[in-house]
A = this chain, B = another copy of it.
Amino acid sequence: MSSRSHPAVHPLDVEIPQLTEPAAAAGAENDGRPDDRVRMKDIQGMPGTPTNLALRLFQFAFAAVSVSVMAATSDFPSVTAFRYLVAALSLQCLWSLSLAIVDIYALLVKRSLRNPRIVAVFTIGDGITSTLTFAAACASAGITVLIGNDFNNCSQNHCTRFETSTAMAFVSWFAVSPSFFLNFWYLASG
């Protein structure tokens, strides 16, 4: 109230109460509880939101690029870790694409996917695929560094392609982590 007595000094303080007053009045009727609850459950990034769809497409795109770049090199089958990277990131591709399709369906028919059982399935799947993707990225990174820095043997190997593929795998893992932690947080708090 004291700030209202100086409208010329703090002009914003006059506007904000006018905008928030109807909401505050509506919330006051039932102690503001339902308003808070709806806002907490509608976190962007949860299954069935446009942010989550964007994350899924991001994961899918980077995993697909990683697999393509690695599979395009002629000598990747000679290294176990590179074969594993192709397998793990193909799984990541399939998983992210499936969930992107589920998200598109949920957005089109305006269905909520925030059911604890569905979210538990998504969390377990995200946990498994992100662990496999991270393990593949780390193993490939170890071998890429071994070839490039320790053996100094980049002239005979496709170092740039291996590095690109590994980097894309790490980016894909970075994109899976928010999905996993948001879903896990929702499960724990719900």
Contacts and interface: CB of A to CB of B under 8 A. Distances in A.
Interface of A: 78-81, 131, 134-136, 138-143, 145-146, 149-150, 184-185, 187-189
Q: Which 4 A-B pairs have the closest CB atoms?
A: A139-B142, A188-B188, A138-B138, A81-B142
A68 B66 CA distance: 35
A144 to B, nearest CB: 10
A136 B142 CA distance: 9
Q: How many copies does the complex hold?
A: 2
Nearest to A131: B134
Nearest to A187: B188
A154 to B, nearest CB: 14
Contact of A188 (B81, B149, B189): B189
A112 to B, nearest CB: 20
A171 to B, nearest CB: 15
A149 B136 CA distance: 17
A134 B187 CA distance: 25
Nearest to A149: B80
